[in-house]
Amino acid sequence: MKITVVTPVLSIAGVPLAQIRFARALGRRGHQVTLLVGWIDPAFKMPNLDRVVVEELGKRQVRSMFAPLCAHLRRSKPEVVFSAEDHLNCVVLFAAMLTGSPAKISGSSRVTPFDTYSGNPLDKRWVLKQLMRVAMRRADALTCVSQDMVAQYRAVFRSPRHVCVYNIVDDQHSRQRMLEPVDHEWFHDPERPLLVAAGRLAPWKGFSGLIDSMVFGPAAHGARLLILGDGPLWTDLQSQIDRLGLQDSVRLMGYVENPLKYFSHAKAFVLSSLVEGMPNVLVEAMMCGCTPVATDCPTGPRELLDDGRIGYLVPPRDPKALATGILAALAQPVPHDVLMQEIQPFAEDAVIDHHFRLLGLAGANQLTQVS
């Protein structure tokens, strides 16, 4: 089957990486897959994508992708198109209507609609909302990455058809990357438990509060924290670490190509975010055996951790509560088999089967996997 997976940009971010996983998984099943990209960040190191053709349109703005998308639909005639993020979903759907493409189209929403759309007339986000009302009629499936986001869409649109389908997190490629060795001195001290966190060093990730939490118990108990990721707050966060005297307890690692190998050697993973869609990184950490500690931010952590039954949920913006959650995770880690049960909906087969069922293509997914 000819399938096009569309993403606006390839960069070190959750949505592009999820689309890469999805395209790779479809290719492994023998489908003819094109990963159509608006723009590839020069800093992004393209992974090996066997059996997937990558086409870059050279367009940094989503609206500029409209004409090339029309040309692609006419030229390549894909049978199925998977798109992600609402601005792009809207462009893809209008391109399909203009060209008369018969392709089945699935649009996935990755961030809260409260940030995407507006109720103020003539606001750009209000205009997008009106355009999306029309475009939705062409979609064969509309999905969100969490149940909470589905509820949010029902609050923004009248009777939307959105349903929850998770991202692929647990796949063969990721399992292999978990086994890679780690060369860092902090991983060789069994007396000091290791915590990890990961994400862009930006305000909404809450890393300042996470660093503050270390002074409320974890550092005194010998715990060390590695924060994986780069971003605009690097200098501020390093200054905070120095000011609090946490140089031997907290370290900023910068961008790492394979965070999974770090997760596999850590005791607990800490998500300190103020807002999420569905935090793939938390699922990755659980897959690697980390006990999860997460802020109860909208959306995703409460759903993923089953209202706190799996791991430890704490209020956002509360370093003392976060410290309490970290100490509890170190004292009572979640059993490995419980974590593995919880991540089953994020497995490659489960996610693709769900998408194909929504599109009425269940039988088309029963292809022999290519090793």
pLDDT per position as a tens digit, 237-272: 999 999 999 999 999 999 998 999 999 999 999 999
Average pLDDT in the chain: 93
Rounded to whole angstroms, the Cα distance separating 339 from 326 reads 17
Rounded to whole angstroms, the Cα distance separating 215 from 199 reads 21
The residue behind tokens 């609090």 is: 244
Better-scored residue on pLDDT, 206 or 362 = 206
Within this chain, domains 2-168+347-365 and 182-345 share the same CATH topology: yes
Q: In Å, how far from its chain's centre is CA 179?
A: 21
Q: Are the beta carbons of 111 and 277 closer than 8 angstroms?
A: yes
The residue extents of the domains of the chain are 2-168+347-365, 182-345
Residue 16, pLDDT score: 86
Tens digits of residue pLDDT in 89-109:
999 999 999 999 999 999 999
Instruction: Give CA angle at 12 (128, 277), nearest 5°.
Output: 50
Residue 297, pLDDT score: 94
Whether 306 has a pLDDT exceeding 70, the answer reads yes
Q: In Å, how far from its chain's centre is CA 312?
A: 20
Mean pLDDT along residues 297-301 = 91
Buried b (16+ CB within 10 A) or exposed e, 106-143: bbbbbbbbeebbbeeeeeeeeebbebbeebbeebbbbb
Residue 238, pLDDT score: 98
pTM metric for this prediction: 0.87
Which architecture characterizes domain 182-345 according to CATH? 3-Layer(aba) Sandwich (3.40)
Whether 296 has a pLDDT exceeding 60, the answer reads yes
Residue 371, pLDDT score: 47
Mean pLDDT along residues 269-292 = 95
How would you list the strands of the sheet with 104-109, edge to edge? 52-56, 32-40, 2-10, 80-84, 104-109, 141-144, 163-164
**Cβ neighbours of residue 300 under 8 Å, at least 6 residues apart?**
145, 146, 148, 276, 277, 278, 279, 282
Looking at domain 2-168+347-365, its CATH superfamily turns out to be Glycogen Phosphorylase B; (3.40.50.2000)
Mean pLDDT along residues 141-156 = 94
